[in-house]
């Protein structure tokens, strides 16, 4: 797996408190960040697995030759070492991100 996308299927989009609770159940802690409409993130990789929830707006990740659109409630997990970039949508984006360290 290079990445795993999970679309939100609930009737109401989870807020920051609910997403933080979901992350805590995985022993993860998240931090919130936001970006302006049209912002771009150049191709890069991390030495950890990135776990990302979209809280508001939207963002398109380019990972493993695939365009992955995150809308509110969606979760994206990108494995350590996988190169990815991103383009923020027209309304900007608010995300909650956590770091999952590789198993030793």
Q: What angle do CA 77, 79, 81 make, to 5 degrees?
A: 145
Q: Are residues 92 and 35 in contact, defined by beta-carbon separation less than 8 angstroms?
A: yes
CATH of the domain at 17: 2.60.120.10
pLDDT at 2 over 80: yes
Task: Please compute the mean of the pLDDT values over residues 19-46 and round it to a whole number.
Answer: 96
pLDDT above 80: residue 35: yes
* Whole-structure pTM value: 0.93
Residue range(s) defining the domain that contains residue 58: 3-100
What pLDDT is attached to residue 1?
72
Q: Rounded to the nearest 5°, which phi and psi values hold at 45?
A: -140, 165
- How much is the average pLDDT of 34-50? 97
Tally of domains in the chain = 1
pLDDT at 101 (0 to 100): 80
């Amino acid at each position: 797996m290079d990445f795993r996308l999970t679309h939100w299927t609930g009737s109401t989009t989870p807020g920051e408190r609910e997403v933080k609770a979901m992350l805590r159940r995985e022993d993860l802690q998240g931090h919130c960040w936001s970006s302006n409409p049209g912002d771009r993130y150049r191709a890069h990789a991390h030495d950890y697995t990135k776990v990302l929830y979209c809280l508001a707006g939207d963002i398109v990740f380019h990972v493993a030759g695939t365009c992955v659109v995150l809308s509110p409630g969606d979760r994206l997990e990108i494995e350590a070492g996988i190169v990815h970039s991103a383009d923020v949508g027209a309304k900007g984006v608010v995300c909650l991100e956590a770091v999952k360290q590789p198993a030793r």
